[in-house]
């Protein structure tokens, strides 16, 4: 079965949300006074560039390590996971928790 064509509008929205998630994560890291290399070391990552990729929106925080990231950043694990879910999977977040505002639009209007 062939894969459906990528919807460019949806792809752009996904990338916009990932970049916004990266900005949120970077702000949390900086608020904690950590460099990317220090955070990577705390998380046991071999390369700090993974943190850079996540902060730039190229990568995502893996589900299985979200608790570790939350602890390293001094954040509540459930709140951390919920916030990332709004950025990474907004439709799933809406289905689970009801209509929620776009996290990027909310920041822009504040």
Q: For 49-105, what is each residue's pLDDT tens digit?
A: 999 999 999 999 999 999 999 999 999 999 999 999 999 999 999 999 887 666 766
Between 28 and 98, the higher pLDDT residue: 28
pLDDT at residue 100, as a whole number: 67
Q: Which domains does the chain have, with CATH numbers?
A: 10-98 (1.10.260.40)
Name, of 4-13, 53-62, 101-110, the range with top average pLDDT: 53-62
Q: What is the mean pLDDT of residues 31-60?
A: 97
Phi-psi region of 21 (alpha: psi -120 to 50; beta: other; left: phi over 0): alpha
Assess whether pLDDT exceeds 70 at residue 40: yes
Pick from 70, 49, 71: which is nearest to 59 by CA? Answer: 49
Residue 79, CA distances (Å) to 10, 70, 75, 95 in order: 26, 9, 7, 17
**Measured in whole angstroms, how far is the alpha carbon of residue 30 from the centre of its chain?**
15
pTM of the model: 0.83
Strands (E), 1-110: none
């Amino acid at each position: 079965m062939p894969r459906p064509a990528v919807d460019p509008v949806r792809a752009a929205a996904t990338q916009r949300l990932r970049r916004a998630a990266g900005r949120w994560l970077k702000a949390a890291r900086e608020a904690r006074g950590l460099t990317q290399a220090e955070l990577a070391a705390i998380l046991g990552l071999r390369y700090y560039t993974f943190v850079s990729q996540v902060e730039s929106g190229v990568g995502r925080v893996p589900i299985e390590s979200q608790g570790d990231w939350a602890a390293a950043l001094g954040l509540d694990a459930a709140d951390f996971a919920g916030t990332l879910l709004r950025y990474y999977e907004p439709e799933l977040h809406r289905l689970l928790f009801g209509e929620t505002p776009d996290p990027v639009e909310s920041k822009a209007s504040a």
